Amino acid sequence: MDSKKTKQYIFDDPKNIRLVVRALVTVCIILVGLDLVLHRHASHPLEEIFAFYAIYGFVSCVFLVLLAREIRKLVMRDERYYGDEPDDPEQGKLQEKSAEKSND
């Protein structure tokens, strides 16, 4: 995978991203379609609802994200809120490297 500067990777092409999204939508449609064909035996009355899991999964995630956005307004602070600097990546790397070297 060693690359030249110009090397094109799979998701550099927007076409491939669209392809992934389309594949996902197709899979979703097939899975709901299977609900018509296969009989899901239910251990709970709610499970008998058509495409219960599909609806529940979608609604849950949208609810999760929308509520998380509101929570973010309440709890999000600047990185330096607690007074300590975010780790300097370069420094951490150097330390690790020097630790490795000194012990070799």
Helix pair angle (14-37, 52-75), 10° resolution: 130
Cα end-to-end span (Å), the chain = 30
Going residue by residue from 69 to 88, which x/- string records binding to other proteins, judged by CB under 8 A?
Answer: x-xx-xxxxxx-xx-xxxx-
For 28, how many CA atoms within 13 A lie in the half-sphere containing its CB? 11
49 is a site residue for other proteins (CB under 8 A): no
What single-letter amino acid sits at 30?
I
58 is a site residue for other proteins (CB under 8 A): yes
3-state secondary structure of 37: helix
Site for other proteins in 2-31 (CB under 8 A): 3, 9, 11, 21, 24-25, 27-28, 31
Closest contact distance (angstroms) between CB of 17 and other proteins is: 9
Number of Cβ within a 10 Å radius of residue 52: 15
Q: Which residues of this chain interact with other proteins, rule CB under 8 A?
A: 1, 3, 9, 11, 21, 24-25, 27-28, 31-32, 34-35, 38-44, 46-47, 51-58, 60-62, 64-69, 71-72, 74-79, 81-82, 84-87, 89-93, 95-96, 99-100, 102-104
